[in-house]
Structure 1
Amino acid sequence: MIKIIVFAIISVLSLNLYAQKNVTGYVFEDSNQNGKKDRREKGISEVAVTNGREVVQTNTEGKYELPIGEDNIISVIKPSGYKVGKNEDNLPQFFYIHKPKGSPNLKFNGVEATGKLPKSVDFPLISSEEKEDFTALIFGDPQPYTQQEIDYFAKGVVAEVEGIENVPFGLSLGDLVGNDLDLFNPYIKAVKKVGIPWYNLLGNHDINFDVENDILSDETYEAHFGPANYAFNYGKVHFLILDDVLYPDPRDGKGYWGGFREDQFEFIENNLKQVPKDHLIVIAMHIPLSEPDGVDTFRDKDRDRLFQLLKEFPNTLSLSAHTHIQRQDFFGKEEGWQQDKPHHHYNVGTTSGDWYSGKLDENNIPVSTMRDGTPKGYAFINFDGNEYSIDYKVAGKPAAYQMEVFSPKVVAKGRSTRAGIYVNFFMGTEGDEVLYRFDDGDWNEMQYLEEYDPSYVEMVYEWDLTEELMHGRRSSNPIKTEHLWRGDIPTKLETGEHTIEIKATDMFGKTHAARSSYRLAEPVE
């Protein structure tokens, strides 16, 4: 009898121990949209749920079960045809944070103690018609360091898209703020005014610097936005949002490095197993996969491993910000990509531009053109099934403004000149066709080159040549741009004004136009 009682006690303790190590719940259709699972509301089968490492699918009743520790965020991977609820700040609510003891004591507050795990952690989904052709709005690096810069961001960018229609959601690609994590809430309030569900990811200026382990560097971020690694589906597109900031840098314990932890790779691999191979995979991160100028900004073995996990998916796109320039990168087999069709990585121009520098415009907002001559702005990614195209929108300018043209104002008639016409095609990349002509003449190809954009050079050095201080802050020094073209100036025309027309075709087959002019005058003897 005693042995039976002891065995029974051990069995009960084992069951309790097992229960504490697992989380269960339902994914259900929230018909009345009250956020709670009512008796008549049915579960949804074959929906992926994750603890940040493992990924499982719900059964026929909509139930899931996952391992859980003392620091996990359980999140549902939204399937196509459904939407998740959002809070009063338009932040999607697709997760449950389980930190019984809360975050460690840090300079910026993290998650409060969540206490005992609920008996059932349920996720409501709302049935929603989702078209396979849709557009997402993308912000790179708002990165305000002060409340004044929050105001610049709100007035110079957010106000322009406030109340936007026919865009189901937006995404910010990290550096939501500039090291002061108390600015998370003002940032959230600013973006709320766009009026659509808004997703976020973590950047190197959004982390807790007073930690010794990378896995704790996102505690304050989690308290405001939820998991730093998550996924969702819309139409035939699978979005995979990843924290690729390793802090402290595993090489020397100082600074940060681009890459992923082992638990992140497990999440990526387990997640991709649930995604149909013909869907478009969009991976959003902060630090780009590319390494401009040969600087070691991303761990090579992590990029190779990511490419290995993507080798069975013929339709892919990756996004980043971080650099405060704009560029298109294409990875082929020489760079570790394992498919014949190169992988496109779009490093998006930022909403803060060149860190809110430059002269003030008519609204007292810094012009903030980036070092490669790309004006500050944001992107629209247009999806059609598993295909996509991208539009870059310069803040404060018409949508048709896709190029900056630099040309001399006056040139000596009949004399050869080394002066040229330069076109900075903001979404351009080597291989794009850029043509120019004069006075309705024949079209000719412009020459692609990697050089400083003279328009930006002129803008920067105005600060050094002025004899009176200007309002605003001097822009950063120029760097060579990867979307610049040059053409010669004909001088054997009649004296007077001559028109310049530019026609550029981007990688998606869209044609863009711009105009300028120059004047020929008789040489001064």
Structure 2
Amino acid sequence: MLWPVLLWAASWPLLACDAGTVGVDGDGDGRPDRGAPGVRVSDGRQVAVADAAGRWRLPGPARGPVFVIKAPGHALPLRDDGLPDFWRPAAGEGAGCDFLLLPAPDSPDDALEVLVFADPQAATRKQVGYYLDDIVRPLQDRHRAMLGVTLGDVANDDLSLYPELNRATALLGVPWLHVAGNHDLDFEAARDEDSLRTFRGVYGPDSFAWEEPRATFVGLDDVVYRPGERPAYVGGLREAQFAFLEAYLPTVARDRLLVLMVHIPLFDTDANAETFRRADRERLFALLRDFPHVLVLSGHQHRLRQYFHDADTGWRGAAPLHEFNVGAASGSFWSGAADAAGIPDATMADGTPNGHATLRVFDDGEYALDWHPARLPEGDGARTAAMHLHAPRALRRGAYPAWGVYANVYMGRDDTRVEFRVGGREWQPMRKVAAPDPWLSVENARDDLAESLRGFDRSPEAVPSTHLWRGALPTTLETGEHVVEVRAFDHRHGERRASTSYRLLDATE
């Protein structure tokens, strides 16, 4: 929807933003001390390079918001909304198309840390409050990030909420980038080209690049709007985006990580439909193939999944291409029973709690990803930051061992080693299963059995999880309570544990 409060550019005299300067403010007085030669500027299609004096000119008229590609070792001033000042409208009121770079603040020596949000998806001001209290405020004083990104669906169709969401995000105090999602569209637009007018008026370019010393970030709008069709959008890219990638990627350093940020996953999420156009994916993969260090970050699914592209999806690189499909900040669209603070449970359909991800990038192009649940119950060893467990509370001693302990290991992959033991005995392997998370299935049953509403919206119906493991609980041990320990191994984070217990009871016919 085209919200009038956001269309502040509509009354400006239209002046083309085809040329300008990039300067460096070395002494902090708000004015450039010198030019920034070699820094690139783009409109999402063409790329210009600043000369020795910092002057740049696009080869042709600007076709969209014009942005500077922040160079490593530099920072950017902030706009009035707290977002980085890295873009200008393609046509504006004559404020110029000049960009100012600042010296970069000191950063930790070991790694670049990035906060990764997907799908905050607030539909009301109350849900903006959930985002603020559940996601943002707990991070304010404890994160070490130097950059943040939201992978689309910033709002849930009500785009007038952008300013409030931005005020919340700005409290984190780091430059923040935004990728467009399918719920960020102007649905009354008659064509795809006009479907992000409101988004561009607030966040600028829907395709952009940003460079840090350890990584290059490329954001792409991969939601192709198809008004009047069903479905009304599909995942894919456009000729202008390919033109930008073809012009920009050859200039990108190969010794650091290349991070591609999109909303709709590059893999097909429906076995019976092409949710991302295969021809576009193969064309994109051809441009990425020779980069030794590539990571894809996506959102949209409101689940958490680690996917590895190979020849089946058109990837021809030397090693599989890792796509991290990031879980939602809003979880299951802010649904489920509320806690004591009034915040909905928001567990996602695969059993993953709502929260955020972090990306840590190292000098060698290597990286580490992690998921951080928004809330953890105090004193519950079965629910940790890395996993949660589900097991029956009591079993009959001597019964056939048909009942198991389940571990939902949020960052688990097909090759993750997960083990369990009972009562301090020998560790045994757990088996990866494709099944609904039993904890969420119980929550579904509670909703079914409740005679009144437990929350504004019910928790989602549990679907098979891609990161669930099972181990059969022994029933031949002595009567009484038995502690179950689970450990999962991650090559970057090491060993992580959780524990629960069950009781064996004697019974007679």
TM over 0.5: yes
Bigger CA drift: 194-203 or 123-132? 123-132
User: 1:22, 1:408 → 2: CA distance?
Assistant: 65
User: 1:401, 1:126 → 2: CA distance?
Assistant: 37
Structure 1, unaligned runs of 5 or more:
1-19, 100-113
C-alpha change, 1:507 and 1:370, in structure 2 (3 Å) is farther
- Residue 391 of structure 1 corresponds to 370
Q: Structure 2 matches for 1:18-417, cutoff 5 A?
A: 23-37=18-32, 41-69=33-61, 71-99=63-91, 114-115=92-93, 118=96, 121-128=97-104, 129-130=106-107, 131=109, 133-248=111-226, 252=229, 255-294=232-271, 295-385=273-363, 386-397=365-376, 400-417=384-401
Counterpart residue identity of residue 450, structure 2: T
Contact 1:378/1:393 (8 A) holds in 2: yes
User: 1:97, 1:428 → 2: CA distance?
Assistant: 42
Query: SS where residue 72 of structure 1 aligns?
Result: coil
User: 1:431, 1:278 → 2: CA distance?
Assistant: 27
- Residue 15 of structure 1 corresponds to none
User: 2:493, 2:64 → 1: CA distance?
Assistant: 45
Deviation at residue 507 of structure 1 after TM alignment: 5.2
1:458-513 CA-to-partner distances (Å, cap 9, x unmatched) read 01121101234324421121111010111111011000000100010135353210
Contact 1:98/1:117 (8 A) holds in 2: no
- Residue 496 of structure 2 corresponds to 512
User: 2:62, 2:367 → 1: CA distance?
Assistant: 40
Of all paired residues, the percent bearing the same amino acid is 35
User: 1:54, 1:253 → 2: CA distance?
Assistant: 33
User: 1:410, 1:311 → 2: CA distance?
Assistant: 53
Contact 2:45/2:63 (8 A) holds in 1: no
Contact 1:51/1:67 (8 A) holds in 2: no
User: 1:88, 1:116 → 2: CA distance?
Assistant: 18
Bigger CA drift: 381-390 or 158-167? 158-167
Counterpart residue identity of residue 435, structure 1: E
Deviation at residue 87 of structure 1 after TM alignment: 1.9
Counterpart residue identity of residue 233, structure 1: E
Counterpart residue identity of residue 27, structure 1: V
Counterpart residue identity of residue 516, structure 1: T
User: 1:379, 1:165 → 2: CA distance?
Assistant: 12
Deviation at residue 165 of structure 1 after TM alignment: 4.5
C-alpha change, 1:34 and 1:199, in structure 2 (3 Å) is farther
Deviation at residue 215 of structure 1 after TM alignment: 1.7
1:44-68 CA-to-partner distances (Å, cap 9, x unmatched) read 1111111211112222222211134
Contact 2:257/2:361 (8 A) holds in 1: no
1:318-351 CA-to-partner distances (Å, cap 9, x unmatched) read 0011000000000112321111210000000111
Moved over 6 A (4+): none
Query: SS where residue 267 of structure 1 aligns?
Result: helix
Q: CA RMSD in A?
A: 1.9
Query: SS where residue 331 of structure 2 aligns?
Result: coil
Query: SS where residue 35 of structure 2 aligns?
Result: coil
User: 2:406, 2:465 → 1: CA distance?
Assistant: 12
Query: SS where residue 498 of structure 2 aligns?
Result: strand
User: 1:469, 1:216 → 2: CA distance?
Assistant: 40
Contact 1:160/1:396 (8 A) holds in 2: no
C-alpha change, 1:21 and 1:88, in structure 2 (3 Å) is closer
- Residue 12 of structure 1 corresponds to none
User: 1:164, 1:97 → 2: CA distance?
Assistant: 35
Query: SS where residue 232 of structure 1 aligns?
Result: strand
Q: Structure 2 matches for 1:466-485, cutoff 5 A?
A: 466-485=450-469
Contact 2:82/2:167 (8 A) holds in 1: no
1:35-85 CA-to-partner distances (Å, cap 9, x unmatched) read 443xxx111111111121111222222221113436432211011100011
1:292-334 CA-to-partner distances (Å, cap 9, x unmatched) read 3413211111111110000110100000110000000001123
Q: How many residues align?
A: 486
Query: SS where residue 33 of structure 1 aligns?
Result: coil
- Residue 16 of structure 1 corresponds to none
Bigger CA drift: 54-63 or 440-449? 54-63
Query: SS where residue 378 of structure 1 aligns?
Result: strand
User: 1:333, 1:375 → 2: CA distance?
Assistant: 32
- Residue 6 of structure 2 corresponds to none
Contact 2:112/2:214 (8 A) holds in 1: no
User: 1:270, 1:208 → 2: CA distance?
Assistant: 29
- What is the TM-score of this pair, normalised by structure 2? 0.91
Bigger CA drift: 406-415 or 392-401? 392-401
Query: SS where residue 282 of structure 1 aligns?
Result: strand
- What is the TM-score of this pair, normalised by structure 1? 0.89
